[in-house]
Every structure is written in structure tokens, then in C-alpha cells.
């Protein structure tokens, strides 16, 4: 199986949506299909995370989770690894290099 560059979701539990499709719930991590671990380095088999290749990991750091959401926690390390740079943000530059 080829490794995909688009992260999908791996979660600790699942719920069935109103249309009968599996949806992630509980603890949510980013996972690249074709790998056996999450983006933050957790092995899928040992942590018993369920894979959801049909659900893209499109969470942001500003998402607010409520009690009504099936997702209870989003991994901050996975968020940092998948978010990248903000639009318009420049790369790091040394201001005063040593001679």
C-alpha cells in the first residue's frame, strides 16, 4: 500500500452517524494511510486506535469541542505536525549573524 500525504483520522472510539457511516470519537490523532503509527508517533496496534481512512484530519488549533461532540480530545502534537505555517508567515532568519 502506498503512503498518502493527506492525513486521515485515527481515534480511540467510533460512532455511527445519521447516514450509517462510521465517525471518529473520543481521542483523535492524525494518521497517514499506509503507516502503522500516528503522526505523533503512537503505534496504532498497541494503543488500539481505530483507523478512519475516509475522514480527513482537518482540525485546527482554534476548534472548540463541546459535550455534544463525539470527539473529546484532539492531539496537540498531531495538530502541530499537520498545520504547517500560517499564510504570510516568513521563515526563520538570523538578524545578527556571527562573523
List 25's β-bridge partners, or say none. Answer: 13
In a domain, residue 62? The reply is yes
Number of domains the chain is built from? 1
Residue 75, CA atoms < 13 Å, CB-side half-sphere = 21
In a domain, residue 2? The reply is no
pTM of the model: 0.78
**H or E stretch at 45:** helix 44-47
Which structural domain range is residue 65 located in?
A: 8-83
**H or E stretch at 65:** none
In a domain, residue 98? The reply is no
Name the pLDDT band for 11 (thresholds 50, 70, 90).
Answer: very high
Q: What is the pLDDT of residue 2?
A: 58
Q: What is the pLDDT of residue 72?
A: 83
In a domain, residue 97? The reply is no
In a domain, residue 78? The reply is yes
Amino acid at each position: 500500500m502506498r503512503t498518502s500525504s493527506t492525513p486521515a483520522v485515527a481515534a480511540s472510539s467510533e460512532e455511527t452517524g445519521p447516514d450509517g457511516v462510521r465517525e471518529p470519537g473520543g481521542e483523535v490523532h492524525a494518521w497517514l494511510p499506509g503507516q502503522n503509527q500516528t503522526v505523533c508517533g503512537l503505534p496504532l496496534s498497541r494503543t488500539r486506535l481505530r483507523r478512519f481512512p475516509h475522514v480527513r484530519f482537518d482540525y485546527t488549533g482554534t476548534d472548540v469541542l463541546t459535550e455534544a461532540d463525539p470527539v473529546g480530545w484532539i492531539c496537540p502534537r498531531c495538530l502541530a505536525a499537520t498545520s504547517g505555517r500560517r499564510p504570510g508567515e516568513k521563515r526563520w532568519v538570523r538578524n545578527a549573524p556571527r562573523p
